Structure 1
Amino acid sequence: MTRILVVEDEIFVATEIEHVIEEMGFNPIGIASDERSALALASEAEVALVDLNLRDGATGIGIGRILAQTHGVTVVYMTANPSQLGEGVPGTVGVLAKPVSEQELRAAVAYAVARRSAAEAEPPRRLQLFNWSPAAIPS
């Protein structure tokens, strides 16, 4: 069962995301509202949904980068301000612009899980993919 980390500081949003993950049959491993708590759960995560602006500031971009590049986590950003990501973050999948419907969230989670397992999957329409080859990821 895929282990999914939710990095979000708005508790109502985070618990709703966690509920959807459970309904889909995946294992939500926790809610992290800041960098410290996200990195504490990093070794347990396989997929992460990461907001940009958290309790400790605009740390989401860096958290996603560390999760993807250091821990091998499949990262999808979720934010109301996708332009903050510019061309994207090497090693991460893409960004889903908030607000998102439950259907869009389900589609993004399913895509991230499929992509992690190298299965063929069609990206959801509202998920803006980043175009990074594995060679572009610093080691």
Structure 2
Amino acid sequence: MPSRILIVEDEIFVASEIEQIVAEMGHAPIAIAADRASALRHASNTDIALVDLNLRDGPTGLDIGKILAQTHGVSVVYLTANPSQLGDGVPGTIGVVSKPVAERDLRDIVNYAVARRAAADAAPPRRLKLFSWSGGNAIHT
């Protein structure tokens, strides 16, 4: 069954590319959200969210990911050029990948998030830094 994936990104060209890749993988890109209000509007229909930190309404991505994961049970992976802004991470979320993200890496990240959501064993992608409470504390570089 395809996963419903929310893309939280305010750069439309980046968001559109992610949307296309997600669709090619057979998943359902449910929306592109450029700010907190639009991201949270789609929370109840989302399985996985790919979340940037700095959005149209400022640095709201950290809180968006936290709310999606902790309140709505969404599997969250942060995609950001500023991973250090997350410190040790956000409880309930999977991890972070530094942008830019190559298509192959994005596919690996989505596949990993899908597997984690299904409670299947999966090795984390090489570029994904897992948060310690998300099932592993190794940093993959």
Question: Normalising to structure 2: TM-score of the pair?
Answer: 0.93
Residue 44 in structure 1 maps to residue 45 in structure 2: yes
2 CA distance for matches of 1:72 and 1:133? Answer: 13
1:77-124 residue CA offsets vs partner (Å, 9 max, x unmatched): 000010000000000000010011000000001000100000111100
Unmatched 5+ stretches in structure 1:
135-139
Letter in 2 for 1:9: D
Tell me which residue corresponds to 2:124.
Answer: 123
How much does 1:132 deviate? Answer: 1.1
What secondary structure does 2:6 align onto? Answer: strand
Sequence identity of aligned pairs in percent?
69
Name the CA distance, whole Å, in 2 between partners of 1:133 and 1:105: 19
**Deviation at 1:133?**
5.9
CA-to-partner distance for each residue in 1:50-86, whole Å, 9 max, x for gaps?
0000000000000000000000000000000100000
TM-score (norm 1): 0.95
Q: Distance in 1 between matches of 2:27 and 2:120?
A: 17
CA drift of 1:131 comes to 1.0
Aligned equivalents of 1:20, 1:133: Cα separation in 2: 25
Query: Which ranges of 4 or more aligned residues in structure 1 deviate by more than 2 Å?
Result: none
- The question of whether the paired residues in 1 share the 8 Å contact of 2:93 and 2:134 is answered with no
The letter for the 2-side match of 1:90 is P
- 1:4-51 Cα offsets, whole Å, 9 max, x none, are 000000000000000000000100000000000000000000000000
Do 2:4 and 2:29's aligned partners in 1 also have CA atoms closer than 8 Å?
yes
Distance 2:114 2:75 in 1: 8
| Cα distance in 1 between the residues matched to 2:55 and 2:80 | 11
Q: Which secondary structure does the structure 2 equivalent of 1:78 belong to?
A: strand
Contact preservation (8 Å) 2:79, 2:98: yes
Q: CA RMSD in A?
A: 1.0
Counterparts of 2:134 and 2:86, CA distance in 1: 17
Match of 2:4 in 1: 3
Distance (whole Å) between structure 2 residues aligned to residue 26 and residue 122 of structure 1:
20
**Corresponding residue for residue 55 of structure 1:** 56
In structure 2, the gaps of 5 or more residues are 136-141
